[in-house]
Amino acid sequence: MLKPLTNRQNDVLDFIKDFNFENGISPTRSEIAIGMGFRSKTAAVDHLKALERKGYIHLHSETSRGIQLLQGTDELPIIGSVAAGSPIEAIENI
């Protein structure tokens, strides 16, 4: 089970998901810092390390866009609904 996030960590995770969805790639540490209004990349890196410790992302240190969202962090859109409850008998006169 994933550990709970602080509000700010959740905001950073949402930023990463949105950036990835809109651009098809993960953001750099600088892009996260700018997008989140942090004063430095260090603040972004601290949040990324916390997200990694809590099991939400994996950081690939060899690349600047090395943020991998881990299983269980993706959301699925609701595309429809199904009626539920007691079944109703359908009678046809043929």
Q: In the predicted model, what is the mean pLDDT of the chain?
A: 87
- State residue 72's pLDDT score: 61
Which domains, ranges and CATH numbers included, belong to the chain?
Answer: 7-69 (1.10.10.10)
Q: What are phi and psi of 68, to 5 degrees?
A: -110, 120
Considering the chain, what percentage of its residues have pLDDT values greater than 70? Answer: 83
List, for residues 59-83, the tens digit of each pLDDT value: 998 889 999 999 765 555 556 666 6
Confidence (pTM) = 0.74
Residue with tokens 């089970």: 1
Other CB atoms within 10 A of residue 31 CB: 19
- Measured distance CA(85)–CA(67) in Å, rounded: 43
**β strands within the chain, DSSP E:** 57-59, 67-69
Which amino acid is it at 29? Answer: R
